[in-house]
Amino acid sequence: MTVRTRFAPSPTGLLHIGNARAALFNYLFARHHGGQFLLRIEDTDRERSTRHAVEVILDGLDWMGLNPDEPAVYQSTRQARHAEVALSLLEAGHAYRCYCTADELKAMRDQATAEGRPPRYNGMWRDRDPAEAPPGAPFTVRLRAPQQGETVVQDLVQGEIRVANAEMDDMIILRGDGSPTYLHAVVCDDHDMAITHVIRGDDHMTNTFRQSQIYAAMGWERPHFAHLPLIHGPDGAKLSKRHGAQSVVEFREQGFLPEALNNYLLRLGWGHGDAEVLSRDEQIRLFDLDGVGRSASRMDYAKLTHLNGVWLRQADDDRLADDVLSRLAGREGVTLDDAARSRIRALMPGLKERARTLVELADSAAFLARQVPLPFDAKASSLLTPDARALLRELALALAALEPFDAAAIDAALRIFAEQQGRKLGQVAQPLRAAVTGSTMSPGIDATVAALGRDETMARIGAAIGG
């Protein structure tokens, strides 16, 4: 058997973090077992589904590196097939026409509620002759579900789960306008796509029991099911805006790397010993469903941010520089010319050591693209005292004649200058950092000055000391 999994989002909103984790688990499970990962866009809700939402989903999956092995299937293009299956069930006696009006259905629900029963359909047309319906009356097609016994699911995460068939009513599989219901369409699609494993959130558990009845009625082999516990906020409540970012797009905008988000989502509800930082190859090698826990996970934004910093420090400098440049584009007071690009790339090894997100990285690199005179923050301004300005004037003379103008030579020159002035190195380095960056935080001052270059360094010192 070739393992085939699928991710099947509805394009009615953003790619939520819970859905993204489901996509990741489907992808890794398929890869681990040498199978295929597929994508189905469940866009049958034509009023709420938008092309923009589809593009957001595709963009998010591409950013996360979760690319399907076959072209995406759009559920809306398969409605004729869904209707065909429903009508075959009707012809075989496994489904029937229901002519209930909206008022009759409401009366059923109201009566059941008043009697303390679940508001379910009471089977009014299950055994009636369709000839009793008014000529030309609209109808739905309902599954003739078993009323005795149990439906049993051997869930690969939750274990064996049983539901009495008497607790489930005859669900609609084809609406009055001939369109399929969601539960019916999913079964048809999973069967036709030869899906072997359905891995999704445990909020679909009830759907699984209903869908199992369609599989049984059609005589189709049922896929294996695995229901993942949901992701909650740090306080244990349902994840919401008040907790922070919820969608893949938001995490990307906030400066998280896809490697870090994938790594974090993998560890959110799955474990393998003490393994924490895992590459994609390691994830594929280790992942299986027996490592998935049964309890809901709690989103820990601080842990994700820390993990992102770990991945930042491992990331390629050219890639990070490109991202920083894109985030700085359009910022007030920033000029992204060739000189600025060169400085950012040269200083990237030092910049990324302190950053936890790409936003922080861009903020810390912005000074490299500013023109003189620089804006100074409060701490930097406080360092540029008259004494410090006089010190910088002498230091500028020493740096102007320095050869070569690289980090090693600059470090040596600063140490010699500090010793000659009878000062500690920090008493020289901090005013210099304030003058050339506008702040008191930067990578090593030797690397910073080297990245700026001789001319820019002289210009910034001159502007800071007033000529």
Name the residues annotated as catalytic. 241
DSSP secondary structure, 67-81, as one string: --SSPPEEGGGGHHH
Q: In which residue are the tokens 């599954």 written?
A: 143
Q: How many helices (H) and strands (E) does the chain have?
A: 19, 12
Contact 313, 180 (CB under 8 A): no
d(C-alpha 344, C-alpha 443), whole Å: 12
C-alpha distances out from residue 101 to 87, 107, 108, 179, 181, Å: 21, 10, 11, 17, 18
The neighbour count for residue 140, using CB atoms within 10 Å, is: 22
For 193, the enclosing helix (H) or strand (E) is: none
Three-state SS for 105-162 is HHHHHHHHHHCCCCCCCCCCCCCCCHHHCCCCCCCEEEECCCCCCEEEEEECCCEEEE
Contact 21, 255 (CB under 8 A): no
The neighbour count for residue 154, using CB atoms within 10 Å, is: 11
Six-digit token string for 138:
């609209």
160 strand-pairing partners: 154
Q: Does a cis peptide bond (omega within 30 degrees of 0) precede residue 404?
A: yes
Angle formed by the axes of helices 338-354 and 301-314, to 10°?
120
Q: Does a cis peptide bond (omega within 30 degrees of 0) precede residue 373?
A: yes
Task: Assign 198 to helix, strand or coil.
Answer: strand
List Cβ neighbours of 296 (8 Å cut-off, separation of 6 or more).
Answer: 229, 230, 231, 232, 236
Residue 280 half-sphere exposure toward CB, CA atoms < 13 A: 10
Contact 287, 29 (CB under 8 A): yes
In this structure, what DSSP letter does residue 270 have? B
Angle formed by the axes of helices 205-218 and 182-192, to 10°?
60
Q: In which residue are the tokens 């994508």 written?
A: 39
